[in-house]
Amino acid sequence: MYFVTTIKDINKDCIQNSNNIRTVGFYSKFEDAEYTVLNNVCDINELMYDYVVIERIDEGLYPYSEEAFLYNFNYDTRQYMPIPLDKIPLNVTFVQVG
């Protein structure tokens, strides 16, 4: 599954604060998840979530991200744009499950 998680700030201290991230949905196909993000469907930005990560996570206990894609919100175009994944700390899974 591909999980869509909005993030207020991507510095390490903010990522560890669960009030700064919110998993807003999930999709079986990457294309559907990315369409949602790129087009800011349902205004997932909410004027506060400057970043979104799409993570592929398989089922199971203590899941971890198999693949991730990072996006930054452009306030001029009102759309998210892909950015390099190296902007976030390694080995971070954003999805809040359970």
Residue 18 structure tokens? 């669960």
CA atoms within 13 A on the CB side of 51: 19
One digit per residue, pLDDT tens: the chain, 98 residues? 999 999 888 766 655 566 788 889 999 999 999 999 999 999 999 999 999 999 999 888 877 788 889 999 999 999 999 998 876 655 555 665 54
pTM (two decimals): 0.85
Let me know how long the chain is: 98
pLDDT for 98 equals 42
